[in-house]
Amino acid sequence: MNIKLIKFGSNDFYKSLKHSLAFNEDDNSEIQAVVNSIIKDIKNNGDSALLSYTKKFDHLESKSLSELELTKESLKEAYESLDHSTQTALNESAQRIRDYHQNQIQNSWDYVEDDGTRLGQKITAIDSVGLYVPGGKAAYPSSVLMNAIPAKVAGVKNIIMVVPTPNGEKNALVLAAAHVANVDRVFTIGGAQAVAALAFGTETIPQVDKIVGPGNAYVAEAKRMVFGTVGIDMIAGPSEILVITDGQTNPDWLAMDLFSQAEHDELAQSILISSDNSVFKKVIKSMEKLIDTMPRKKIIQTSLENRGLFIEVNNLNEAAEVSNFISPEHLELSVSDPDDLIQKIKHAGAIFMGINTCESVGDYCAGPNHVLPTSRTARFSSPLGVYDFQKRSSIINLSAKAASRLGKIASIMAEGEGLFAHARSADYRVKIDD
């Protein structure tokens, strides 16, 4: 297996690194045109357009949208159809995710100044959220849990889940996850048309305030286009992992951790950083030994050979510097003293500390969210969480004394900006004897 190796400190290191991090996105002008047309159709024709697209793309014909809504009883039946070990895994994962996100709840606050002015912040939950879940043969119950549970913890009253069921094929695990996460309504629709329906509402699909969840290029483009009418979580790029090792980790473990991201798709990126050059040779040897055991062997090989990267550094300080530049979605600190190294890390979506902590556990059941910033956006954004489903309102309550004193300041500022109605509005509250 041939994986590119670059060395920190070389003259063209960062140029080479930037080139390795970049990925070629397909020209999406055709996708944009298709999605734009679908959105307009849904806005103008509602349910009838949605039924037409569901028939066209999912080969599922229905007389009304009500036929495409799943009852809570059917979600429960899907859960009960699972074997006991799967039910237990779903429940424990859900509880760990719930427990973790309970710690993210923000509370309203205020304070009173000496003159009686009360200032504060009121926290309220978003009213309704749309959750997009890939369907058909794809099974992403973890996505349901990771998106729906933080929303419920935040206090969202209505979660509307959409999941395509091509040819009527339903995934019991996904529906069971919706039951465990207490999703309010589920419609078996998908694609850009489902995103448009959630964003603008139809006769049957309620309009939501925010749309979250992964999807294909058409779904991602639809989310991009409806942003502003509704909120969205993010436009995610290819999945990525960065592993920093001090050479003490079993190379088989390192190889499989890199495989775990490479198997997502051909554009996924797996990066290994070490100061020990022999580590790279050992990992390659492990990869060549293990690759034939992987059902997604071709995807893994393509990903690693096209986008995989080994980076040789002189020490862990340099490793941290490179990591902060990359700002990875997943960062494994596979070192003997991760507590020291984490102090030097500034940018990462999720940080996995120590040789026993693999990224895969974070994807499913550790507790923290697996919806993470990709493509270096961890420099300025964070994992999905309760805070994404709560919003803040400022509170200002002025006493008469404060209104008089602050009114003078506001009046001067407003006149300086040429906004005289603003100034007079403030002046009305100013007491002449103040």
Residues 96 and 211 reside in one and the same domain: yes
Residues 130 and 264 reside in one and the same domain: no
> Which pLDDT score, from 0 to 100, does residue 28 have?
82
Output the six-digit token pair for 292: 């034939």
> Which pLDDT score, from 0 to 100, does residue 408 have?
96
Q: Is residue 53 in some structural domain?
A: yes
pLDDT tens per residue, range 294-322: 999 999 999 999 999 999 999 999 999 99
Residues 77 and 215 reside in one and the same domain: yes
155 and 185 Cβ atoms separated by less than 8 Å:
no
Q: Is residue 375 in some structural domain?
A: no
pTM: predicted TM-score of the whole model, two decimal places: 0.94
Output the six-digit token pair for 212: 């979250």
> Whole domain around residue 310: which residue ranges?
4-23+238-366
Q: Is residue 359 in some structural domain?
A: yes
Tokens 């849904």: give the residue.
42
Q: Of the listed 179, 264, 330, 347, which one is catalytic?
A: 330
Residues 70 and 166 reside in one and the same domain: yes
Residues 154 and 269 reside in one and the same domain: no
Residues 190 and 280 reside in one and the same domain: no
Q: Is residue 294 in some structural domain?
A: yes
Q: What is the mean predicted confidence (pLDDT) over 255-273?
A: 96
pLDDT tens per residue, range 359-413: 999 999 999 999 999 999 999 999 999 999 999 999 999 999 999 999 999 999 9
Long-range pairs of 74-77 with CB within 8 A, sequence gap ≥ 24: 74/175, 75/175, 75/176, 75/178, 75/179, 75/183, 75/186, 76/179
Domain count, the chain: 3
| pLDDT tier at 24, thresholds 50, 70, 90 | confident
Q: Is residue 262 in some structural domain?
A: yes
Residues 208 and 259 reside in one and the same domain: no
Q: Is the pLDDT of residue 267 over 70?
A: yes
Output the six-digit token pair for 129: 């959220």
> Which pLDDT score, from 0 to 100, does residue 137 have?
64
Closest residue by Cα to residue 226 from 80, 59, 42: 42
> Which pLDDT score, from 0 to 100, does residue 26 have?
65
Q: Is residue 113 in some structural domain?
A: no
Residues 134 and 266 reside in one and the same domain: no
Q: Is the pLDDT of residue 432 over 90?
A: no
Which CATH number belongs to the domain containing residue 136 in this structure? 3.40.50.1980
| pLDDT tier at 23, thresholds 50, 70, 90 | confident
Residues 183 and 321 reside in one and the same domain: no
Task: Please state, in angstroms and rounded to a whole number, the distance separating the CA atoms of residues 204 and 209.
Answer: 16
Residues 313 and 246 reside in one and the same domain: yes
Higher pLDDT among residues 124 and 24, named by residue: 124
The verdict on whether 330 is a catalytic residue reads: yes
pLDDT tens per residue, range 126-155: 999 999 999 866 679 999 999 999 999 999
Domain termination site, one of 232, 263, 287: 232
| pLDDT tier at 74, thresholds 50, 70, 90 | very high
What's the longest Cα–Cα distance across the chain? 87
Domain termination site, one of 325, 346, 366: 366
Task: Please state, in angstroms and rounded to a whole number, the distance separating the CA atoms of residues 232 and 196.
Answer: 12
Q: What's the whole-number average pLDDT of the chain?
A: 96
Radius of gyration of the chain (CA): 26
- End-to-end Cα, the chain, rounded Å: 80
240 and 220 Cβ atoms separated by less than 8 Å:
no
Q: What is the mean predicted confidence (pLDDT) over 223-232?
A: 97
Mean pLDDT check: name the lowest of 9-13, 107-111, 155-159.
9-13
The verdict on whether 370 is a catalytic residue reads: no
Domain termination site, one of 212, 232, 252: 232
Residues 90 and 144 reside in one and the same domain: yes
Tell me 227's DSSP state: B
Q: Is the pLDDT of residue 259 over 90?
A: yes
| pLDDT tier at 38, thresholds 50, 70, 90 | very high
| pLDDT tier at 36, thresholds 50, 70, 90 | very high
Q: What is the mean predicted confidence (pLDDT) over 17-40?
A: 90
Residues 202 and 78 reside in one and the same domain: yes
Tell me 388's DSSP state: G
| pLDDT tier at 354, thresholds 50, 70, 90 | very high
> Which pLDDT score, from 0 to 100, does residue 236 have?
86
pLDDT tens per residue, range 191-226: 999 999 999 999 999 999 999 999 989 999 999 999
Residue percentage of the chain with pLDDT more than 70:
98
382 and 347 Cβ atoms separated by less than 8 Å:
no
Q: Is residue 390 in some structural domain?
A: no
Q: Is residue 112 in some structural domain?
A: no
Q: Of the listed 221, 240, 329, 359, which one is catalytic?
A: 329
Residue 1 exposure: Cα atoms within 13 Å on the Cβ side: 29
